[in-house]
Amino acid sequence: MLSSLYKTRTFVLTTLICLLSIGMGSAIVHAEETPASYNYSYWGDAVASPAAYRATALLNGDSLGVGPFKEPNDIHVTADKQIYVLDSGNNRIVVMDASFKPVRIIDSFDSKGEPDKFMSPQGLFVTEDKHIYVADTGNKRVVHLDSNGTLVKVIENPESELFQEKFQFQPARVVVDKAQRIYVMAVGIFDGFMEFNANGEFSTFIGANRVRVDPIELLWKRLSTRAQRSQMATFTPTEFTNLDINDEGFIYTTNGDRYGDTIKKLNAQGNDILRRTGYFNPRGDLVMSSEERTRLIDIDVADSEIYSVLDSRRGRIFTYNGDGHFMYVFGGLGNRLGEFNTPSAIERVGDQFLVLDKGLGEITLFETTEYGRTLNEAVRSYYRGDEEAAFALFQKSINMNANLEFAYAGIGKALLRQGEYAEAMKYFKQSKDQLNYSKAFLLYRKEVLREYFPAIMTGIVLIVLGTIIFRKLRQWKGGRKRAAIEQ
């Protein structure tokens, strides 16, 4: 009886072990595929993560009842969630409300008593008081309309001695700050963004990308004659690919640089002040091969310094927090819902994402999953300094995704504030945050030393006293012995 029981138990155990090992094997195989949603570990490996966003709806011109979109280039959402779509091929702007009902269509405006139209406009910006700025590329001008669609001003043929001889003003993207200064990204301009004052007069260039010189090309240039050199292409800084402005008036830009920083945050002087304290500098995918390298074409800044960038090469949208930690990725090229043909612009409406597909003339709506909501809220509370809430939310998000390494630092900081240093150290170690680990460690060390100081001090004093007494005793004994010998 007993032996049979023993036998069955062994059998069950063996089966269990076999089953477990099968499970482990398959887990390893799964880990090697590129997961649909991923995050980068400290070591630069793509690790699986739950999806933060999920496509829920597809909008196109027909379903909205405004006729099909033709090569729409830009999209903008105001604070009260009105959506402006720049339908470049049809030379019009389609305005929708928060529930995606078309409100109006702007396809012409009154210019000095005559109706005027756009010509393949590329960029669009809407200010807080609903003034519309359009980079009317085909007409080589920037058009400023007020909230009713009547013309306020037109910026064309700007003049300055900073321009080169054959300069042509071809605005592609435009943003406006709170002081009505207009920043224009123009085609073929390498000196940075063109800044115009509120009256539409050109004031200066800001934020030029740095020239990056290829050493081999430089060598060839050194070796060639002046005549040959004049035939060669000159070293020019890379052009920007897009820009956005946040509530504080900082301009976020993307560029098509091959090396270096492709995302920048420019202050009023045009200096890059983006924080890059994540495990890797924000630049999309961490691949080196030229076919797969990320090419960023749009950027969108949300609240709490969270920003997202759009990669045209693989149709992915990467989101980073203000510290430069990679939060999540979604999208891709393909034919299913949530995949694009030629994505051209992204925009955030609250926590939703709108992705504009230029090739198909469609807008894909993405909504957060439970995981995405938690992570967004966690980052926001952390940014606000609400560490209690951040602690709980980060805790919740690592329960859903244990690979989210930067979340551990958020938990560690809350623990540090609460005075639980040893526990905080553990979390900082988990997120490879040496600086904060050291902070927690110093406090912990102080605490421990303070606790054991009496014991340590007593021990030292006892040892010293003991040695002194021992020596004295030996001397005394030795003295007696010597005395005995002498006797």
Partner 1 sequence: MPQLNSELIKYPFYLILHPFNGYWDLKYERNKKTNLIVSFSILFLLAVTNIMSSQYSGFLVNIYNPTEMNSLMEVLYVLLPVLFWCVANWSLTTLMDGEGKFVEIFTSTCFAFIPMVIIPFPWIWLSNVISIQETSFYYFSHSVAVIWTLYLLFVGNMTVHQFTPSKTIGTLLLSVIAMGFLAFLCLLFFSLIQQISSFVSTIYQEIDLRS
**DSSP for 119-130?**
-S--EEEE-TT-
Name which of 149, 83, 151 is nearest 111 in CA terms: 151
Q: Which range, of 259-267, 299-307, 391-399, 433-441, touches partner 1 by CB under 8 A?
A: 433-441
Name which of 319, 359, 321 is nearest 340 in CA terms: 359
* 301 vs 35: CA distance, rounded Å: 26
Please, which residue, 417 or 446, has the CB nearer to partner 1?
A: 446
Q: Which range, of 160-168, 332-340, 411-419, 440-448, touches partner 1 by CB under 8 A?
A: 440-448
Interaction pattern, residues 308-347, with partner 1; x per rule: CB under 8 A: ----------------------------------------
Binding test (CB under 8 A) with partner 1, winner from 212, 445, 472, 474: 445
Residue 432 interacts with partner 1 (CB under 8 A): yes or no? yes
Q: Which range, of 114-122, 333-341, 402-410, 426-434, touches partner 1 by CB under 8 A?
A: 426-434
DSSP bridge partners of 173: 185
Name which of 149, 147, 143, 95 is nearest 121 in CA terms: 143
Please, which residue, 445 or 472, has the CB nearer to partner 1?
A: 445
Closest contact distance (angstroms) between CB of 437 and partner 1 is 6
Residue 438 interacts with partner 1 (CB under 8 A): yes or no? yes
Closest contact distance (angstroms) between CB of 234 and partner 1 is 40
Please, which residue, 438 or 467, has the CB nearer to partner 1?
A: 438
Please, which residue, 197 or 434, has the CB nearer to partner 1?
A: 434
Residue 43 interacts with partner 1 (CB under 8 A): yes or no? yes
Retrieve residue 398's tokens: 């690592």
Please, which residue, 396 or 432, has the CB nearer to partner 1?
A: 432
Say how many residues touch partner 1, by CB under 8 A: 11
Residue 181 interacts with partner 1 (CB under 8 A): yes or no? no
Please, which residue, 279 or 326, has the CB nearer to partner 1?
A: 279
Q: Which range, of 67-75, 93-101, 298-306, 439-447, touches partner 1 by CB under 8 A?
A: 439-447
Retrieve residue 414's tokens: 């809350």
Query: Given its phi and psi angles, is residue 261 left (phi above 0), alpha (psi -120 to 50 degrees) or beta?
Result: beta
Name which of 297, 298, 311, 243 is nearest 272 in CA terms: 243
Please, which residue, 435 or 468, has the CB nearer to partner 1?
A: 435
Q: Are 299 and 252 in contact (CB under 8 A)?
A: yes
Residue 383 interacts with partner 1 (CB under 8 A): yes or no? no
Q: Are 424 and 415 in contact (CB under 8 A)?
A: yes
Retrieve residue 47's tokens: 């690790």
CA-to-CA dists, residue 486 to 11, 475, 478, 479, 480, angstroms: 85, 16, 12, 10, 10
- CA dihedral 217→219→222→223, nearest 10 degrees, is -110
* 19 vs 11: CA distance, rounded Å: 12
Q: Which range, of 165-173, 197-205, 301-309, 431-439, touches partner 1 by CB under 8 A?
A: 431-439
Token pair 């499970």: residue: 23
Within 48-87, the residues that bind partner 1 by CB under 8 A are: none
Please, which residue, 63 or 438, has the CB nearer to partner 1?
A: 438
Binding test (CB under 8 A) with partner 1, winner from 287, 435, 457, 468: 435
Please, which residue, 2 or 27, has the CB nearer to partner 1?
A: 27
* 355 vs 381: CA distance, rounded Å: 26
Residues 6 or more apart in contact with residue 326 via CB below 8 angstroms: 39, 40, 278, 279, 280, 282, 318, 319, 320
Stated length of the chain: 487
Binding test (CB under 8 A) with partner 1, winner from 442, 461, 464, 465: 442
Residue 403 interacts with partner 1 (CB under 8 A): yes or no? no
Residue 47 interacts with partner 1 (CB under 8 A): yes or no? no
Closest contact distance (angstroms) between CB of 25 and partner 1 is 17
Closest contact distance (angstroms) between CB of 24 and partner 1 is 16
Please, which residue, 227 or 455, has the CB nearer to partner 1?
A: 455
Within 230-259, the residues that bind partner 1 by CB under 8 A are: none
Binding test (CB under 8 A) with partner 1, winner from 26, 157, 168, 434: 434
**DSSP code for 268:** T
Residue 441 interacts with partner 1 (CB under 8 A): yes or no? yes
**DSSP for 307-323?**
EEEEETTT-EEEEE-TT
CA 422 to chain centre: 31
Q: Helix, strand, coil: what percent of the chain each, to 5?
A: 35, 30, 35
Q: Which range, of 88-96, 190-198, 331-339, 432-440, touches partner 1 by CB under 8 A?
A: 432-440
Residue 277 interacts with partner 1 (CB under 8 A): yes or no? no
Residues 6 or more apart in contact with residue 426 via CB below 8 angstroms: 412
Binding test (CB under 8 A) with partner 1, winner from 42, 100, 163, 167: 42
Please count the CA atoms within 13 angstroms of the CA of 302 that sit on its side-chain side: 23
Residue 275 interacts with partner 1 (CB under 8 A): yes or no? no
Q: What residues line the site for partner 1 (CB under 8 A)?
A: 42-43, 429, 432, 434-435, 437-438, 441-442, 445
